[in-house]
Amino acid sequence: MFAGFLGIKYVTAGVFTRSLTPELGKTLTRMIYGAACFSILLSFIGTILGGIWADQSWGRFWGWDPKENGAVIVVLWNAVVLHARWGGLVRERGLACLAIFGNCIIAWSWFGTNMLGVGLHSYGFMESAVFWLLTFIGSQLLLIGIGLIPTRLWRSFSVAQTRGAFPVDRGAMKANPAPVT
């Protein structure tokens, strides 16, 4: 969730303010990456320890319970984020958007699976919680959509482009090359 909130900071600072400088963008990206590395380590260890506990308590290491599947989905999503960055599939903005989507994955894994009403980890169905969970997920998807608008429309990028100070999204530049001044 911390990486996702840093992604939100990156997107909102870039789109709505002029405060996303190249230095701040790189700093936020490094922080998102570090949080994702830390997260995959702790999530993986927690999932393994949970399996060991389940083996001791219930006589099985893995039972495909929704909560267990949610835990492994968190680990897999963090692996996707890290591999996308390592492989060069995403840069700063893409990493921020992937981190924001991680908030949806975590919210569902922590709360949504409890509301299914099945499995050993079912804690009861709460109708009011469904609304808030879906509202949160919708807000995160909206922020991702905002983060994916062309960078020429971002306030921070448009100011930096005129000064030539910020590295511009190459895809946006090919589609809309800036005039040479």
- Distance CA(121)–CA(138), nearest Å, equals 25
Whose tokens are 């949970």? That residue is 50
Cβ-proximal residues to 140 (8 Å cutoff; 6+ apart), any chain = 4, 100, 101, 103, 104, 107
pLDDT in tens, the chain (181 residues): 999 999 999 999 999 999 999 999 999 999 999 999 999 999 999 999 999 998 998 889 888 888 889 999 999 999 999 999 999 999 999 999 999 999 999 999 988 887 777 766 666 566 678 889 999 999 999 999 999 999 999 999 875 555 555 555 555 445 555 544 4
Separation of CA 97 from chain center: 6
Take residue 166 and report the two structure tokens written for it. Answer: 């910020």
